Amino acid sequence: PFHYPPHWILACILALSLALSFTSCSDGSSGGSENDSGQVAAIIPKIYATADNITDKISSLSSGTHTIIVTGDVNSILTRNEGNSPSEIAAALIELKKSCPDAKVILDLSGTENLTEIPKSAFEGNPNYNTDNLVGVVLPNTVTSIGNDSFANAGITEISIPASVKSIGDYAFGYCSNLASVNLPDGLTSIGGLAFRGCYSLESIVIPDSVTTLMYGTFEDCSSLTEVVIGSGITEILAEMFCGWSSLETVHIPTTVTKIGAGAFQCGLDAKEKSFTIKYAGTVDDWNKIDIDMNASSVGATNDALLKAKIVCLADGTEGIYEELKNIGQ
């Protein structure tokens, strides 16, 4: 009859299996890893850190994805140093990238103190190294503004912006190429120029009614963007706002919009034959009153894509392409 092996043999087998589930970095350190199926091979405990020891915690990380819960006042380590060199936390991420390229970091800042602003370029790298090993950030509900370039070129895949945030700066999430999901809260009032430029994975965006300032090129080169909802606080869709799209399917435009700038809906070079649908909240008469700039922008972007767009005027049910609606009711 079959006999179970002694307990010490089982213990050895278990220890060996756990050891094999870890991967090593170039420095010989090890950590939990993810296999191709997305299943975690070993459970990695959360790491706790403060501003005083977080750089040491980051530098000691191994392959795999690690969640670091940060407490205390972190303003100093998020502030870019004199001479435009990276902040302490960005510098630590760069060093980790050099020593252990397979290590990924999620920073949970929800328990930090006195953090009211994510400073300019807080997580931005340098010309030689970006911080795409930063794959997630949890912000505290004390933050009221996200500074210019603060997450530029980071590797974050999604972010939920707290309801406390009122403004997002220029290029704040520029070229976060893995960013697929963004939650913009009610209460947000302004989004800076090129704030989400080059977010190639971003698929949809809802701009809340509270936003009254939406600067140029905010979603430029968001090639995967399929649906956009523009809130009623917006009166003008500025030049090059969605320039470079290739997947756009539906744009919801409120009656508050009175002007569409040059090149706001310029197609990407590989998408010139594509068209999309505009769902306009007003009547066809309202639509025809919108000042649409069909000239080229300062960089040569045009609104030619609007000529092929299907425009649905929800208030009276009228629909058609640009030229068909142009003179209806005039």
> Distances in Å between the alpha carbon of 83 and those of 80, 86, 87, 126?
9, 9, 11, 12
Termini Cα distance of the chain = 94
Q: Amino acid letter at 159?
A: I
Encode the chain in three state secondary structure: CCCCCCHHHHHHHHHHHHHHCEEECCCCCEEECECCCCCECCCCCCEEEECCCHHHHHHCCCCEEEEEEEEEECHHHHCCCHHHCCCHHHHHHHHHHHHCCCEEEEEEEEEEECCCEECCCCCCCCCCCCCCCEEEEECCCCCCEECCCCCCCCCCCEEECCCCCCEECCCCCCCCCCCCEEECCCCCCEECCCCCCCCCCCCEEECCCCCCEECCCCCCCCCCCCEEECCCCCCEECCCCCCCECCCCEEEECCCCCEECCCCCCECCCCCCCCCEEEECCCHHHHHCCEECCCCCCCCCCCCHHHHCEEEECCCCEEEEHHHHHCCCC
Number of Cβ within a 10 Å radius of residue 227: 17
- Sort strands 310-313 and 277-280 into parallel, antiparallel or unpaired: parallel
**The length of the chain, given as a count of residues:** 330
Looking at residue 22, its pLDDT comes to 44
Q: What is the distance of C-alpha 80 from the center of its chain?
A: 21
Residue type, 109: L
Q: Which residue has the tokens 């980071």?
A: 154
Which pLDDT value is given to residue 269? Answer: 65
Residue keyed to tokens 């969640």: 67
Question: Tens-digit pLDDT profile for the chain (330 aa)?
Answer: 434 444 444 344 434 443 333 455 744 344 444 444 344 445 556 999 999 999 999 999 999 999 999 999 999 999 998 777 999 999 999 999 999 999 999 999 999 999 999 999 999 999 899 999 999 999 999 999 999 999 999 999 999 899 999 999 999 999 999 999 999 999 999 999 999 999 999 999 999 999 999 999 999 999 999 999 999 999 999 999 999 999 999 999 999 999 999 999 998 766 566 889 999 999 999 999 999 999 999 889 999 888 889 999 999 999 999 888 987 755
pTM of the model: 0.85
pLDDT at residue number 326? 82
